[in-house]
Amino acid sequence: MKSEAILVELNRRAPAEIGSHKRALKFLLTLATTLVLVGILIQALVVVHVRPQEFITGFHGMADFLRRANPPDVSQFDLMLWPALETIDIALFGTLAGIIMALPLAVLGARNVTPALPLYYLARGIIAYCRSVPDLVWALLFVTAVGLGPFPGGCAVAVHSIGMLGRLFSEVIEDMDMGPVEAMTLTGASRLQVFTHAVVPSVAPSLLGIGLYRFDENLRSSLVLGFVGAGGLGFQLLTAMSLFQYRTVSLLLIITFVLVMGAERISAALRRRVL
Amino acid sequence: MLEVVNLSKRYPTGRVALRQANLKVEAGELVIVLGSNGSGKSTLLRCVARLIDPTEGEVRIANHDMTRLKGRDLRRARTALAMISQHGNLVKRRSVLANVACGALGRITDWRSRFGMLPAEELEAAHRYLAEVSLQEFWAQRASTLSGGQAQRCAIARALAQRPKVLLADEPVASLDPEAAEDIMRLLRRLASEDKLAVVCVLHQPALAMRYADRVVGIKDGMVEFDLPAAEAQRHDLSALYAARAA
């Protein structure tokens, strides 16, 4: 009788005690997570040698640079048009070549439409490799292979785009509604007919949107690629910096800003139309 | 026309979805398959269409055993069989006309069809099939703008463009209002009676089944429980078909 009474008492207490244990555990877990996050942040600050005081001590240098960079040297404007066109065309060539090469890889690398599993792994491997090597490194490799100029820049942008576009394209294909594909398969259509009549119309707007976004990204990349000799405005910027022609640097930065903003606006407007 | 012999399907998980199912449907017949969710009705249709491979058994359509065919032979045999599903499975960004004309892809050998183009004569024929399902005025619209009932009729028109001998319908009225559902069932009935198609339709509405079917087949736990003329099926205790699952 006594033991039964103890059991009843324990059962009465149990929910409240379990609740307090849960709360304590939750608190400890939150504390541990916070400590880990703070630890990660501190190690990042240490590793990158964060020295905010340098902004104050370096203020004079920055002010001197701004003084010498103004006003922008607009007399150089017509000389910068060709490098600006080169920059746009590096991005354009890289994006188009990237799309053309990424599309078949994306089809092979999409689990729901790939014709064979080994091809899936091969395509995914190529896509991952192209993506994992930064475009700047690709540019260095192509400059070594084909020499200075915009062509290695275009090649670098194209190869890096294969990696980025290939992955996004294959994810879009994997997420598509397979109903129309099944319906076309049942008409007796060939694999290629199913692809062109069911897969392409279903995913084309998304792919086009991704392609336009990639052009926008590639334009920014192509500016940096000039620093390693791959032509365009980046190369002009590097030269002007090396020769301390800060007013030319200023002009180049304005042209860059206009190009990037223009591409961003145009790409966003086109994306809105196709999606 | 369509003969299913001892058809079984065991999934890799070990679940047996279909056990020794037998079914025979003649040209001009509308056979409605009833059964609870997970009883194996859709698996039966998907095995017949070879969207999934059966574990054993035969599916004969016009004297071809579909289960033995592969590659080009399978594609050729599939042209005799059309299937419509619950949501129509239309390519939403294409026009209604292009969707219907795509039904003919199995017999189009024109190289342009491999690059997303459709021959003018098939587009012309698609207008006739759209007229058959009373959708002719919608031909230029995008498929995404159609209502549920219209999308289903468009899917039927695409099936007709295929000029099949057998039409499979997997819950074609599941997402439709009663009026649209009656409309689709009348259309299936007409295709069986007038166009002499062998129609197999999976439904969840016994009342519709009794009204439109020539024969009603009951499936429970992957097995064909009964296969009766509609008049006799009306007297059959259908609650047993759904009871086990509910328990």
Q: Has residue A125 been placed in a domain? A: yes
Quick check: A208 contacting B, CB < 8 Å? no
CB A115 within 8 A of CB A191: yes
Distance between CA atoms of residues B214 and B228, nearest Å = 9
> Which residues span the domain enclosing A6?
2-50
B93/A188 Cβ within 8 A: no
**Cβ–Cβ below 8 Å for B91 and A197:** yes
pLDDT surpasses 80 at B92: yes
pLDDT tens profile A91-126: 999 999 999 999 999 999 999 888 889 999 999 999
Same domain? For A101 and A151 the reply is: yes
Is there a contact between B61 and B79 (Cβ–Cβ < 8 Å)? no
State whether residue A33 sits within 8 Å of chain B by CB. Answer: no
Please name which of B134, B97, B137 lies closest in space to residue B118, comparing C-alpha atoms. Answer: B97
- Cβ contact (<8 Å) for B116 and A197? yes
Domain that residue B189 falls in: 1-80+164-247
Which tens digits make up the pLDDT trace of A195-214?
Answer: 889 998 889 888 988 998 89
pTM assigned to the model: 0.73
Specify if A64 maps to a domain: no
Residue where a domain stops, chosen among B163, B192, B218: B163
Quick check: A240 pLDDT over 70? yes
Contact between A180 and B91 using a beta-carbon 8 Å cutoff:
yes
Q: Minimal CA–CA distance to B224: which of B212, B232, B216? A: B216
Query: Do B128 and B178 have their domain in common?
Result: no
Residue where a domain stops, chosen among B143, B163, B183: B163
Same domain, A27 and A86: no
Residue A107 lies in a domain: yes
Instruction: Tell whether A238 is within 8 A of chain B (Cβ).
Output: no
B148 and B171: one domain?
A: no
Report the complex ipTM: 0.85
CB atoms near residue A136 (< 10 Å): 16
How far is CA A228 from its chain centroid?
A: 20
Degrees, nearest 5: CA angle A187-A193-A199: 100
Identify the closest residue of chain A to B76 by CA–CA distance: A188
Token pair recorded at residue A215: 């052009």
Reply yes or no on whether the pLDDT at A52 is more than 50. yes
The CATH number given to whatever domain includes residue A234 is 1.10.3720.10
Looking at the fold, whether A20 and A90 belong to one and the same domain comes out as no
What is the C-alpha separation between A122 and A128, in angstroms, rounded? 10
CA closest to A274 among chain B residues: B93
How far apart CA A87 and CA A211 sit, in angstroms, is 17
**Same-domain status, B16 and B130:** no
Q: Do the Cβ atoms of A223 and A234 come closer than 8 Å?
A: yes
- CATH number of the domain residue B28 falls in: 3.40.50.300
Going by the DSSP 8-state scheme, the letter that residue B32 receives in this structure is: E
Long-range contacts of A182-186 (CB under 8 A, 24+ apart): A182/B51, A182/B85, A182/B89, A183/B83, A183/B85, A183/B89, A183/B90, A183/B155, A183/B158, A184/B91, A184/B102, A184/B105, A185/B51, A185/B78, A186/B49, A186/B51, A186/B78, A186/B81, A186/B82, A186/B83
Number of structural domains found in chain A? 2
